[in-house]
């Protein structure tokens, strides 16, 4: 591509003095620079790619007899806009490319343009429209006959990966896995020369497939896929392509969670420790991405250290996690405050188990404060967590000898739970009974015996109301048991 870039000044001079032949030369040179065809070649920097593609569009607009060149330039320009985060403009450019009258588009170019449009639509949150576009892209690529001129415009596997990603974001996990598996199969069966140019895509697909399988609790399959991806992101590959570090972290996290879910706790712990180390490396290359990954890795590590009863190591991981989330939440509360609240909640439990009750109360209080802010933004998602943490706070305050504060926490937990029971009684009526008892236990040391007795009575009434429904279920369960 360096030779082509050297040609550009001469091509620009030819366009200025040579009219349409010069424009044709400049447009052709620019398109080749925007879409290099070399194996494993990194794409041009986004700003340069955008400038070249825009310049190519201008050149081809001066060539009314070359509509195919304009359609191609607009498709590449749409991709450059999309890569720059200018999604609405990318949608407009992609749609204009598809509408250029008289343009001869190969199925590959059509598939590429639809793929870009789908990516831009997803970037604006219009996932249903993105799914339609990417399905059309897959269909177009399937009809394509390989041509050397189209080598830089993607392949069925690119569209299938986007199809799987979009399905996953729409909550269609099983369909997403099927798309990813087809994509992975096509990548695996490619001839060596062709597969080399898609090696990075294969790593991304395997990483995303492993995550989708884990989300479906298909842990053994996820381990198999993630192990393949781990082997393809060794230190040698990462040294030359550090942009694959986020995938490496995700692969390790999926392996850790899956090993933990299938009883391999020591392996899960070791894998989570490796994920933390890789995330720290990623921080040095891309701080925002690295810190996001480090939060997830520390959550995974602290969980498995706790499962292994390695208290001191778990405490160290949780303290680092809480400190990191607190710093990140200052600039991005929507993303990191819920993770901070969860980390503080886990930290409070660890302090309590270690006998540090005062620290446990402080951490629980802070967790409740953070969940309260999160619930103010999204009550449906975070009010249940707030009620749970407030109930824990009441228990710990009572144990610490602060009955009045324990009553206040218990009252707030109960009030939230009653409100939630109004819309979901099956879930929250039993929790209402449990939190009535927590409040009653706090009221008695505070000298409010009459109210405590009323809380115990109401809790008993709720339990009695649930008992007739529960008994037939127990009978049905016994009926399903095999005869001895």
pLDDT at 484: 27
Quickly name the fold that domain 395-471 has. 1.25.40
d(CA 199, CA 204): 9
Positive or negative, the CA dihedral 63, 68, 72, 78 is: positive
- Residues contacting residue 418 through CB under 8 Å, at least 6 positions apart: 428, 432
Q: How do the domains of the chain map onto residue ranges?
A: 395-471
Enter the pTM of the model.
0.83
d(CA 113, CA 154): 10
Cβ atoms of 187 and 179 closer than 8 Å: no
pLDDT at 15: 59
pLDDT at 29: 65
- Residues contacting residue 129 through CB under 8 Å, at least 6 positions apart: 121
pLDDT at 475: 32
- Provide the angle, in degrees to the nearest 10, between the axes of the packed helices 156-169 and 199-215: 30
- Residues contacting residue 297 through CB under 8 Å, at least 6 positions apart: 249, 252, 253, 272, 275, 276, 278, 279
The alpha helices in 190-264, defined as continuous H runs, are 192-196, 199-215, 219-231, 235-240, 245-261
Tokens linked to 315? 């405490």
Positive or negative, the CA dihedral 249, 250, 256, 257 is: positive
Find the distance separating the first CA and the last CA of the chain, reported in whole Å: 76
- Residues contacting residue 240 through CB under 8 Å, at least 6 positions apart: none
Cβ atoms of 223 and 264 closer than 8 Å: no
Instruction: State pLDDT tens for residues 33-42.
Output: 766 544 334 4
Return the beta strands (E) in 168-247 as ranges. none
d(CA 33, CA 5): 7
Q: Compute CA 11 distance to the chain's CA centroid, rounded to the nearest angstrom.
A: 44
Tokens linked to 401? 């000898």
Instruction: State pLDDT tens for residues 57-104.
Output: 888 888 888 898 899 899 999 999 998 999 999 999 999 999 999 999
- In degrees, rounded to 5, the angle at the alpha carbon of residue 230 between the alpha carbons of residues 228 and 235 is 135
Tokens linked to 175? 């369909």
Q: With CA atoms as reference, report the closest residue to 359 among 368, 369, 349.
A: 349
pLDDT at 27: 62
Q: Could you say which residues of the chain have pLDDT below 70?
A: 1-32, 34-44, 148-150, 193-197, 467-484
Tokens linked to 477? 């369960």
pLDDT at 482: 33
């Amino acid at each position: 591509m360096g030779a082509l870039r050297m040609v550009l000044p001469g091509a620009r001079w030819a366009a200025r003095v040579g009219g349409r032949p010069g424009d044709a030369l400049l447009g052709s040179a620019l398109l080749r620079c925007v879409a290099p065809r070399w194996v494993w070649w990194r794409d041009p920097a986004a700003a340069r790619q955008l400038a070249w593609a825009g310049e190519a569009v201008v050149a081809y607009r001066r060539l009314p007899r070359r509509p195919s060149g304009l359609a191609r330039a607009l498709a590449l320009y749409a991709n450059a806009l999309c890569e720059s985060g200018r999604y609405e403009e990318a949608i407009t450019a992609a749609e204009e490319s598809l509408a250029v009258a008289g343009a001869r588009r190969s199925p590959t170019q059509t598939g590429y343009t639809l793929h870009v449009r789908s990516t831009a639509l997803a970037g604006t949150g219009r996932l249903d429209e993105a799914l339609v576009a990417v399905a059309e892209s897959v269909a177009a690529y399937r009809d394509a006959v390989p041509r050397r001129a189209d080598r830089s415009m993607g392949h069925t596997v690119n569209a299938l990966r986007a199809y799987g990603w979009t399905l996953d974001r729409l909550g269609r996990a099983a369909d997403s896995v099927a798309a990813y598996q087809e994509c992975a199969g096509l990548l695996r069966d490619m001839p060596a020369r062709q597969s080399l140019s898609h090696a990075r895509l294969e790593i991304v697909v395997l990483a995303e497939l492993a995550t989708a399988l884990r989300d479906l609790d298909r842990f053994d399959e996820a381990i198999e896929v993630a192990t393949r991806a781990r082997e393809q992101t060794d230190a040698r590959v990462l040294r030359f392509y550090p942009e694959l570090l986020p995938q490496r972290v995700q692969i390790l996290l999926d392996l850790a969670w899956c090993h933990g879910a299938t009883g391999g706790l020591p392996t899960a712990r070791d894998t989570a420790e490796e994920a933390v180390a890789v995330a720290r490396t990623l921080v040095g290359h891309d701080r925002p991405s690295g810190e996001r990954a480090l939060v997830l890795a520390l959550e995974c590590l602290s969980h498995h250290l706790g499962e292994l009863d390695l208290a001191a190591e778990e405490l160290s991981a949780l303290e680092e996690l809480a400190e990191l989330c607190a710093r990140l939440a200052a600039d991005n509360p929507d993303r990191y405050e819920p993770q901070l609240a969860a980390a503080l909640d886990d930290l409070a439990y660890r302090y309590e188990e270690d006998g540090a009750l005062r620290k446990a109360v402080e951490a629980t209080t802070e967790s409740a404060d953070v969940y309260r802010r999160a619930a103010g933004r999204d009550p449906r998602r975070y009010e249940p967590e707030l009620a749970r943490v407030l109930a824990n706070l009441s228990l710990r305050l009572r144990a610490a000898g602060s009955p009045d504060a324990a009553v206040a926490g218990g009252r707030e937990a109960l009030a939230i739970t009653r409100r939630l029971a109004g819309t979901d009684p099956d879930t929250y009526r039993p929790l209402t009974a449990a939190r009535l008892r927590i409040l009653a236990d706090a009221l008695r040391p505070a000298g409010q015996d009459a109210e405590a007795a009323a809380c115990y009575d109401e809790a008993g009434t709720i339990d009695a109301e649930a008992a007739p429904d529960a008994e037939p279920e127990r009978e049905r369960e016994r009926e399903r048991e095999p005869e001895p």
